[in-house]
Amino acid sequence: MQKKTLVKLCCPFDKADLNATIAAIDFNENIQEGYLHCKVCNRIYPIVMGIPIMNPDEYREFQYEQPLYLRWNKHLQGKNVDQFRLTAADPEKR
């Protein structure tokens, strides 16, 4: 996905702007892996092989996305993903 595409995307639920966290780019500076985050509803959408996965929650399966979130642990900056939403880290696990 080209970086300039980011300005055209919005959250499909509340139409808010999305913030991108890039985990991998290719030699042409295209985004290959990362995630999009909506600050309004806190939903998180993965970017896999250059494609943003922005399906409604009921059509997503966490078990398939979880390995990505584990791999992106440093990009999540201590936050967790719970029901496809970015949440603060659990203080009991610190």
**pTM, two decimal places:** 0.82
Q: Which domain holds residue 74?
A: 3-93
Placement of tokens 């600050």 in the chain = 39
Beta bridge partners of 48: 33, 51
Neighbours of 34 (CB within 10 A): 22
Instruction: State yes or no: pLDDT of 94 exceeds 70.
Output: no
**From CA 40, how far away is CA 38, in angstroms rounded?**
5
**From CA 70, how far away is CA 88, in angstroms rounded?**
15
Q: How confident is the model at residue 47 (pLDDT cuts 50, 70, 90)?
A: very high
Please tell me the total count of domains within the chain.
1
Q: What is the mean pLDDT of the chain?
A: 88
Burial (Cβ within 10 Å: 0-12, 13-18, ≥19) of residue 44: buried
Residue 89's contacts (CB-CB under 8 Å, 6 or more residues apart) are 78, 79, 80
The fraction of the chain above a pLDDT of 90, given in percent, is 56
